[in-house]
Amino acid sequence: MTTWRIDHEGYDPGRERLREALCTLGNGYFATRGAAPETSAGPAHYPGTYVAGCYDRLSSLVAGRTVVNEDVVNVPNWLPLTFRAEGGAWFTPDRFELLDHTQELDLREGLLTRRLRYRDEAGRVTAVEQQRLVSMSEPHLAALETTVRPENWSGILEIYSGLDGWVRNDGVERYQNLSGAHLVYRDAGADGDLVWLDVETVTSETRIAEAARTRILMGEETGREVRGAPGWIAHQLTVQAGPDAPATVEKVVALHTSGDGGAAEAARAEAAGAGCYGELRERHVAAWARLWEHGRLDVGGGPPQRAVNLHLFHLLQTVSPNTAGLDVGVSARGLHGEAYRGHVFWDELFVLPFLSLRLPEVVRSLLLYRWRRLPAAREAAREAGYAGAMFPWQSGSDGSEETQLLHLNPRSGRWLPDNSRLQRHVGLAIAYNVWHHYQATGDLDFLSEYGAELLLEIARFWASIATLRDGRYDIGGVMGPDEYHDAYPGASGPGLDNNAYTNVMAVWTLCRALDTLEALPAERRAELLERLALTEDELARFEDVSRRMRVIFHADGVISQFEGYEGLSELDWAAYRSKYGDIRRLDRILEAEGDSPNRYKASKQADVLMLFYLLSADEVYALFERLGCPVDRETIPKTVAYYLARTSHGSTLSAVVHAWVLARSDRPASWRFFLEALDGDLYDVQGGTTGEGIHLGAMAGTLDLAQRCYTGLELRGGVLRLDPVLPEGLPVLSMELWYRGDGGLRLRAGPDGVEVGLPASARQPIEVVVDDGRATTLPPGRSLRFGHRT
């Protein structure tokens, strides 16, 4: 099998939305789902296009309440292109008999190719070959080339090529009752082979302009007319065609918004001046080649390699070098659909650590998205009665809390309170990413100018939210990553106390904030402390809280997910699996039964175990030693086994985390979870969710499993540490990384040991430690080989 291509044979309307999500093409600025150009939104198809950071707010009436939601905007559809024999019906795959139908996604070159044959109502057979791209080299351009070949007829072929602004946000069934009309028509026009369409978002007032240039490349054009009405515009062309005279039509589209500093004029000028499809393709393919040259991740071939390539492909389509400089965050579902409304969650915790060793400038830009929203986070903390910065669980355009107040359980049909905004741990994810980026890049300038302020203000929040009780600090009224538990059984309000993940990572953040101050130049440290009005008393509180935070343990020494967890009821897992089969969304099942997961020792995904995902065992034990907690070397494996038996894996992130935490204690189980995570979106294991947008955190998490977990790669104290532990199904790992300002660091781990190489262009040597051995200096232009310990 090829590991660089995803093939879809045949046509199945019931699986089209899944295929459209998986065949999305993008470039970090915008992306377009892989819908057929002749289709429109409906049960089977959803041709969405999304621009990074383009949001709009609308009000809706839900369960008797007015709610306001901010959504990533489905911008005008640039795809529309169809054809017919003169006087016949326009082609769609749902109208005529399909004789053949295949689609091929080329991961290496970023191209989507479609081949089909169909028979129309008059018995005419026509073959079609179509290819599209969303340019990685010219981020405002997309292009579509279509060749139509009549097989048993000759005559006039009519072609329709247009722009459709009558689109809505309608891609998620759960949101059907919410307002989705985000676009207002402003202008449209035509000139020669160009048509254009200008719209504006309702409340954010972002102008969005598209211009399409349509040309006949092969065949004799015999006519061209402009069709349109407010909201859409098109060219309708005629061309003479036959078995020996196929027609090839090229459509080149430019997309700009007022957020780029221009819209209508920029789109028209770029579409008019763009090269032909072949020229655009050549530059686009060359840009992808450069990305793959420095971004490769070899896992030994076969289905795992194909899935790794697919995941890296979609990650690079969402955040690419074109993203650097944009004021955007990492959308949890990529630019592939409307699930989660395009919001930025904690999923960046699974994305940025991988990218810091690949595209550090892109990560810098993504962290600046958070830094620019510090004022909003400070205001949120102040309004809640705390100091520092309290970042929102769901973020969009301006850093406001975008988490919905109500969410729909599709199983019961009921709208329920959504308390997930209590997942304050999103700030911990930001702090972790800032520190990891610094360790990966050694970029003290970034830390001084931006990262330190983020770390200190997040630490300040955790120091202020902690309250002293009986000699230990508590953190109350929060939710952990689990999400099944948002309140105590029978409680009058939401929130849990002393979530272990939150408390321990708050300690870690306080420690890193203090380390950051030590790392800064004295002048910058003094200036920052003065500007933030961060006093010696506050820093002393950082130190005190980081040594006296409360962590709850069960009687048998297992780390408790939160205070009171041990007293919850056990769930009859066998009975629920027997009754329902798939119980990944156990929360919905229990609510539909009139019950609640708050009553049970049952988790949607890893919660306590996230500690062992983010931190090495040595780091975890060091933190517990700092806290004076009674732990031994059996605490981690005992805790992992306890929660693994009580997790329904209702999130695609769950398999990623469990593969990681089992990597050293149970390699076969880790490999099984890794394969499950690789298959998550490709086979839609969550049952219908991938069609609403891929799960970017899980995709990036699988890549980071290979890059950091299975290689044992750690970045601490300016030293590159490696301790490989490869599962049997993973014979070799090979990659190139960007480390401490230099690209081209070669890393290979296999059965014969580890090889690390530094290019001659590297500016300085690096320190490498393998298998907990002694540090070895690796100079530029040299390689080091280390055998495995016996």
Which residue is associated with the tokens 């009224």? Answer: 477
Three-class secondary structure assignment of 586-653: HHHHHHHCCCCHHHECCECCCCCCHHHHHCCHHHHHHHHHHHCCCCCCCHHHHHHHHHHCCECCCCHH
CA–CA separation, 105 and 25 (whole Å): 9
Kindly write down the DSSP assignment for every residue of 311-334, as one continuous string.
HHHHHHHHS-GGGTTS----BTTT
In single-letter form, the type of residue at position 45 comes to H
DSSP letter assigned to residue 191: E
Sequence-separated contacts (24+) of 221-230 with Cβ below 8 Å: 222/156, 224/193, 226/190, 226/195, 227/160, 227/162, 228/162, 228/188, 228/190, 228/195, 230/185, 230/188
Is 483 among the catalytic positions? yes
3 state DSSP class of 77: strand
The one catalytic residue among 483, 676, 692, 714: 483
CA–CA separation, 206 and 189 (whole Å): 20
The DSSP H or E segment spanning 146 is strand 141-150
Which tokens is 286 given? 């060359």
3 state DSSP class of 216: strand
Alpha-carbon Rg of the chain, whole angstroms? Answer: 27
CA distances from 460 to 198, 512, 611 (A): 46, 12, 21
Q: What angle do CA 700, 686, 727 make, to 5 degrees?
A: 50
DSSP letter assigned to residue 395: B
Which tokens is 749 given? 């781990």
Q: What angle do CA 142, 147, 149 make, to 5 degrees?
A: 165
3 state DSSP class of 789: coil
Distance of CA 605 to the CA centre of its chain: 18
Kindly write down the DSSP assignment for every residue of 154-188, as one continuous string.
-EEEEEEEEEE----S---GGGTTS----EEEEEE
CA–CA separation, 310 and 4 (whole Å): 8
Q: What angle do CA 421, 425, 428 make, to 5 degrees?
A: 145
Kindly write down the DSSP assignment for every residue of 248-278, as one continuous string.
EEEEEEEEEEGGGT--HHHHHHHHHH---HH
In single-letter form, the type of residue at position 569 comes to S
CA distances from 119 to 40, 58, 116, 152 (A): 21, 44, 10, 10
Inter-helix orientation angle 500-519/536-548, to 10°: 140
CA–CA separation, 629 and 472 (whole Å): 11
Beta bridge partners of 416: 407
Which tokens is 647 given? 């997790």
Cα torsion 4, 6, 9, 10: sign? negative
Which tokens is 706 given? 């290979």
Q: Which residues are catalytic?
A: 483
